């Protein structure tokens, strides 16, 4: 579903031109499509319609309250990795029994807050964490539903910084130790074993890693049930990738993903819990910046824009490729540019050798596929204010996070006052 593209020669989000939004709220800004998010969620619902499945949106992908609330209203639960994300999910109206809590470093305070919030389950990453959960549950007189996150030692064939299912990664319990971990959990007070969890990485564009991981999970479920444990749910994790190259990077569909899950795990009669993030919101977002200067070097022509790596870190952190478009497709002359930002880092680069219609100061540049891991990873490096976020619905748009001003940013600091000399 194309929610971003050209209408009568002008780049639009749904039916709203990006120029109209820029005139209203300035640049740079993030822009999300309501229909794009809803369509992506509907694809998952349809893909898993034949089985018992709970779709828990991975809030780490984009934690804006409007996005969480939109998905919650459609029936989604939430996958959270911190107390802050849990509070966001609750504030957006997602009930505790639709929230799963992942993450490798849950503190005692966070665990207690989650128990008081009556979350659906903890995805336990280590035995020391299990001890913390047990102690907290006993203190509060509650039972904690737990599923161990199992590390299956499967290569997700993705970027090394977002691969989470190999033996050298910090995540989960080694699959060989699953039996021991579940036996210990069964003997601990305040613990109720309910399932098993797996998550092998992010931006996965091949189904084979899922197939291998799910086969291993199926074997473990059979073994754990044979040991007397109740395994009623399987958390499949998330990680399904999106196309960042306008059709040049084919990715599996939710339907194809569901087919693999059902073929490997369907016979177990478990509820599936899904944790999609990027694949729900990634393609439904763009970052819009304005050309400040066109700088011609001896070998390269630089298109310097007002968006920067502090606004959108993925290209700098992951060497990620994002398609880049211009405001208008009507200029017949084209130019090859390196698209860069204003931050004092060579890594502040959005794309090398990109062919675009010839640009001038004031023109708008659109970085596509920016709905996930964009605004949530932004910082105020170089004392740059966070950029606003906009949600488009048909021919209307709404600012869903305002741009702070410099007084807001600087006002967070406490001025230094030297101690009295006397």
Residues marked as catalytic: 344
Smallest CA-to-CA distance from 54 within 116, 118, 97, 4 is with 97
Q: Which helix (H) or strand (E) holds 218?
A: helix 208-226
Cα Rg of the chain (Å, integer): 23
User: Cβ of 180: how many Cβ atoms within 10 Å?
Assistant: 12
Q: Which residues pair with 233 in a beta bridge?
A: 195, 271
Give me 329's structure tokens.
Answer: 């497709």
User: Cβ of 301: how many Cβ atoms within 10 Å?
Assistant: 15
Contact 58, 276 (CB under 8 A): yes
Cα 18 from chain centroid?
A: 24
In this structure, the dihedral spanned by the alpha carbons of residues 96, 129, 83 and 44, taken in order and rounded to 10 degrees, is: -50
Where are the extended beta strands (E) located within 152-268? 173-174, 191-197, 233-237
């Amino acid at each position: 579903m194309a929610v971003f593209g050209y209408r009568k020669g002008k780049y639009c989000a749904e039916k709203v031109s990006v120029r109209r939004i820029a005139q209203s709220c300035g640049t740079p800004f993030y822009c999300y499509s309501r229909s794009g998010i809803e369509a992506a969620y509907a694809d998952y619902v349809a893909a898993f319609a034949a089985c018992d499945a709970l779709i828990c949106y991975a809030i780490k992908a984009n934690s804006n309250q409007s996005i969480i609330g939109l998905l919650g209203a459609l029936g989604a639960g939430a996958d959270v990795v911190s107390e802050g994300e849990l509070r966001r999910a609750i504030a957006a109206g997602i009930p505790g029994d639709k929230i799963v809590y992942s993450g490798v470093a849950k503190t005692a305070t966070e665990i207690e807050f989650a128990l008081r919030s009556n979350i659906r389950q903890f995805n336990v990453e280590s035995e020391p964490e299990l001890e913390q959960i047990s102690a907290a549950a006993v203190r509060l007189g509650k039972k904690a539903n737990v599923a161990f996150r199992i590390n299956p030692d499967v290569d997700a064939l993705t970027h090394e910084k977002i691969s989470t299912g190999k033996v050298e990664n910090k995540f989960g319990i080694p699959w060989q130790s699953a039996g021991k971990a579940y036996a210990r959990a069964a003997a601990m007070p305040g613990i109720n074993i309910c399932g098993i969890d797996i998550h092998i990485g992010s931006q996965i564009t091949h189904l084979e890693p899922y197939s291998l991981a799910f086969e291993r999970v199926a074997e473990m479920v059979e073994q754990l049930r044979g040991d007397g444990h109740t395994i009623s749910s399987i958390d499949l994790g998330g990680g399904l990738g999106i196309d960042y190259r306008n059709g040049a990077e084919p990715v599996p569909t939710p339907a194809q993903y569901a087919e693999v899950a059902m073929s490997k795990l369907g016979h177990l009669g478990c509820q599936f819990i899904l944790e999609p993030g990027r694949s729900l919101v990634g393609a439904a977002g763009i970052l819009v910046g304005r050309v400040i200067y066109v700088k011609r070097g001896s070998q390269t022509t630089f298109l310097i824009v007002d968006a920067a790596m502090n606004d959108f870190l993925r290209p700098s952190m992951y060497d990620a490729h994002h398609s880049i478009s211009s405001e208008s497709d009507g200029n017949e002359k084209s130019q090859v540019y390196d698209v860069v930002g204003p931050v004092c880092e060579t890594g502040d680069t959005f794309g090398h050798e990109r062919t675009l219609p010839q640009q001038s100061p004031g023109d708008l540049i659109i970085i596509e596929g920016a709905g996930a891991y964009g605004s949530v990873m932004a910082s105020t490096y170089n004392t740059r204010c966070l950029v606003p976020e906009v949600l488009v619905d048909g021919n209307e748009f709404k600012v869903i996070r305002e741009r702070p001003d410099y007084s807001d940013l600087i006002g967070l600091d406490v001025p230094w006052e030297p101690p009295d000399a006397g």
